[in-house]
């Protein structure tokens, strides 16, 4: 898959290897929504493909994790690496909107997401699941994934389920709402000449 390397695109390439996971990632936040994702967890691939598509990010991710244990390390570590890639790709935050939010419906489900690229990590997660797994994906890992992203990217991230009963829909709506919120927060606004903060830095 071809990936832009021009300096006009905000990109990050990350590699991380531990005894639990071996991760290679390329992220272009000024992408077209193209992705090539192989984490070994089918539902997680599906969620990350949706994240790339609906945020107009290009994302290449290869993760070889210890799935013989469970999906925990794979999902958490992909969150850490994606968070670090987001932080690096965004760079100095000059001229970007900083805040983004989205109310995303998916059939019976409605999810609210709000992002502030504040430099201060904080996750507020308000959602519950009624089954332990969707495919090979452990539903309790959804919160861990977003926690890892919020800390590694140093962003304030709120995710709240307004309505929802189907676990697949709820999780998918979270990933898509996060994607759209992050897309908005990273978008340039020509009225913003420096960093959008009365402090002068984020």
Question: Which residues are near Mn ion by CB under 5 A?
Answer: 172
- Closest residue to Mn ion in the complex (CB): 172
Closest to Mn ion by CB, 76 vs 172, is 172
Place of tokens 């272009």: 28
Closest to Mn ion by CB, 26 vs 146, is 146
Q: CB of 41: closest distance to Mn ion in angstroms?
A: 14
| Cβ atoms of residues 18 and 77 within 8 Å | yes
Return the half-sphere exposure (C-beta side, CA atoms, 13 A cut-off) of residue 176: 18
The helix or strand, by DSSP H or E, that contains position 163, with its residue range, turns out to be strand 156-163
Q: CB of 202: closest distance to Mn ion in angstroms?
A: 34
Q: CB of 172: closest distance to Mn ion in angstroms?
A: 5
DSSP character at residue 96: B
Tokens of residue 180, six digits: 């759209």
Closest to Mn ion by CB, 97 vs 169, is 169
Closest to Mn ion by CB, 152 vs 159, is 159
Query: How far apart are the C-alpha atoms of 186 and 84, rounded to whole Å?
Result: 15
Q: CB of 97: closest distance to Mn ion in angstroms?
A: 28
Q: Quick one: which of 24, 131, 132 has its CA closest to 70?
A: 132
Spell 121-143 as b/e; 16+ CB within 10 A means b: bebebebebeeeebeebbbebbb
Q: CB of 173: closest distance to Mn ion in angstroms?
A: 10
Closest to Mn ion by CB, 14 vs 169, is 169
């Amino acid at each position: 898959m071809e990936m832009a390397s021009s300096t006009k695109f905000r990109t990050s390439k990350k590699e991380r290897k531990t005894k639990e996971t071996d991760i290679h990632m390329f992220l272009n936040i000024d992408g077209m929504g193209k992705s090539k994702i192989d984490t070994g967890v089918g539902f997680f691939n599906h969620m990350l493909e949706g994240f790339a598509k609906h945020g107009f990010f290009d994302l290449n991710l290869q993760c070889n994790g210890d799935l013989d244990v469970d999906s925990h390390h794979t999902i958490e570590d992909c969150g850490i690496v994606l968070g670090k890639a987001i932080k690096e790709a965004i760079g100095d935050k000059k001229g970007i909107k900083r805040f983004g939010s989205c109310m995303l419906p998916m059939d019976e489900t409605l999810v609210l997401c709000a992002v502030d690229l504040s430099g201060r990590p904080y996750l507020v997660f308000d959602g519950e699941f009624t089954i332990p797994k969707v495919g090979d994906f452990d539903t309790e890992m959804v919160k861990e994934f977003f926690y890892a992203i919020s800390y590694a990217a140093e962003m304030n991230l709120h995710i709240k389920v307004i309505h929802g009963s189907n676990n697949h829909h709820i999780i998918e709506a979270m990933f898509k709402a996060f994607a759209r919120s992050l897309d908005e927060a990273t978008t340039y606004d020509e009225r913003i000449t420096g960093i959008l903060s009365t402090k002068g830095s984020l």
